[in-house]
């Protein structure tokens, strides 16, 4: 937690602290420094605060279903250039009206969100992201995945059981099923990274419209 005598401690996620360096290394390979990045599911805001310093001019647009504005903007103030982190917008993955208020953006990033969405929301995430993205936009998706219907580690198996026990349609997604949904919405897979703690990073490119 970050302490400031004039403000309450900021929300903090240990997972953010563990994975941000690895995520940053992939992000720098694929994200255009001159563009706007929309982060879907910003949570505490730690990723924006850390990763923005990897770029000289990138604009970061946080979002969440119910954004924690205090935490996100509090973390933004700890970055090297808080002016490049915008105030968060409300974004439900399945709500086209929310997406229409989040545009324009050049790339998308979502970290550890697919397993806390219902499967229908995962499908809508890729559909709505394609609908509102520019051709050649990139979509980076980070988190745990199953492969061929099986957990990739004992820890992921336990985590999946915990998620599914809560109901609400949560659970670790199968990487093949995610790829199929992405492809059905014209997201072309460009890269697949094995990340720390049995996580993966998938990089997709928005296909250009066909010329008739």
Output Rg (C-alpha) for the chain, integer angstroms.
17
**Which pLDDT score, from 0 to 100, does residue 91 have?**
98
What 8-state DSSP symbol labels residue 136? T
**Which pLDDT score, from 0 to 100, does residue 10 have?**
84
Q: Which residues pair with 90 in a beta bridge?
A: 64
Quick one: average pLDDT of 110-131? 97
Return mean pLDDT, the chain: 92
pLDDT confidence of 202, banded at 50, 70, 90? very high
**Which pLDDT score, from 0 to 100, does residue 13 have?**
79
Cα–Cα dist 13/32, whole Å: 27
Cα–Cα dist 134/105, whole Å: 8
Phi, psi of 30 (to 5 degrees): -120, -15
**Which pLDDT score, from 0 to 100, does residue 210 have?**
54
Counts for the chain of helices (H) and strands (E), in that order: 7, 8
Residues whose CB is less than 8 angstroms from the CB of residue 4 and which lie 6 or more positions away in sequence, other chains included = none
**Which pLDDT score, from 0 to 100, does residue 18 have?**
82
Record the tokens describing residue 106, joined without a space.
């050049």
Record the tokens describing residue 18, joined without a space.
């563990």
Checking if the pLDDT of 200 tops 80, the result is yes
**Which pLDDT score, from 0 to 100, does residue 4 have?**
41
Checking if the pLDDT of 8 tops 60, the result is no
CB atoms within 10 A of CB 1: 7
Instruction: Tell me which residue of 32, 75, 74, 39 sits closest to 55, measured CA to CA.
Output: 32
Quick one: average pLDDT of 160-184? 96
């Amino acid at each position: 937690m970050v302490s400031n005598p004039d403000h309450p401690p900021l929300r903090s996620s240990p997972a953010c602290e563990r994975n941000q360096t690895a995520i940053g290394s992939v992000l720098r390979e694929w994200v255009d420094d001159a563009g706007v990045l929309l982060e879907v599911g910003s949570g505490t805001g730690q990723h924006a605060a850390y990763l923005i310093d990897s770029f000289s001019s990138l604009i970061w647009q946080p979002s969440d279903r119910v954004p924690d504005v205090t935490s996100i903007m509090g973390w933004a103030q700890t970055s090297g250039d808080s002016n490049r982190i915008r105030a968060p917008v409300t974004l439900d993955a399945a709500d086209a009206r929310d997406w229409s208020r989040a545009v324009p953006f050049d790339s998308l990033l979502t970290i550890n969100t697919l397993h806390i969405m219902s499967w229908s929301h995962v499908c809508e995430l890729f559909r709505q992201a394609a609908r509102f993205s520019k051709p050649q936009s990139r979509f980076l998706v980070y988190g745990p995945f199953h492969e061929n219907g099986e957990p990739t580690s004992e820890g992921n198996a336990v985590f999946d059981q915990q998620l599914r026990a809560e109901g609400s349609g949560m659970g670790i997604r199968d990487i093949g099923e995610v790829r199929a949904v992405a492809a059905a919405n014209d997201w072309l897979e460009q890269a697949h990274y094995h990340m720390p703690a049995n996580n993966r990073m998938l990089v997709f490119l928005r296909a250009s419209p066909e010329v008739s």
